[in-house]
């Protein structure tokens, strides 16, 4: 979704498989990293647990960013703040982490 002020809306998925199905680790991590969401312009955050494999979790973050910022994803990925956040997830949770960004096509005019 692109609008007149040069911003685009994206949905970020952090997918993690943990050695345990205890959701308290994921919830505490999300609470501890809440200030990072301000950097993304986070507007909606959800934590989902797979009903068939309780050790799999997804954190969903809807955010808006400037279109120019979005275009240069490689620069963003190398940003120290982003790398620190991802490393914290990997270290604290001790699982495999995948990060994917999507555009919501249902939000198109």
Q: What is the pLDDT of residue 48?
A: 92
How many percent of the chain have pLDDT more than 70?
71
pLDDT value at 50 more than 90: yes
**Does residue 55 lie within any of the structural domains?**
yes
**55 vs 40, residue with greater confidence:** 55
Domain span at residue 92 reads 7-103
**Does residue 78 lie within any of the structural domains?**
yes
Q: What is the pLDDT of residue 28?
A: 80
| Residue range 12-27: mean pLDDT, rounded | 82
**Strands ordered across the beta sheet of 7-17:** 42-49, 56-66, 7-17, 96-102
Phi-psi region of 41 (alpha: psi -120 to 50; beta: other; left: phi over 0): left
pLDDT value at 74 more than 70: no
Provide the CA 100 distance to its chain's centre, in angstroms.
8
CATH number at residue 23: 3.30.70.100
**How many domains is the chain built from?**
1
């Amino acid at each position: 979704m692109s609008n007149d002020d040069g911003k685009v809306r994206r949905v970020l998925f952090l997918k993690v498989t943990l050695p345990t199905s205890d959701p308290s680790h994921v919830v505490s991590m999300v609470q501890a990293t809440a200030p990072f969401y301000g950097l993304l312009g986070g507007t909606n955050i959800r934590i989902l647990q797979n009903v068939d494999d309780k050790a799999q979790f997804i954190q969903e973050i809807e955010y808006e960013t400037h279109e120019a910022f979005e275009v240069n994803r490689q620069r963003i990925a190398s940003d120290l703040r982003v790398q620190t956040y991802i490393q914290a997830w990997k270290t604290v949770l001790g699982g495999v982490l995948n990060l994917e960004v999507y555009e919501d096509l249902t939000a198109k005019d």
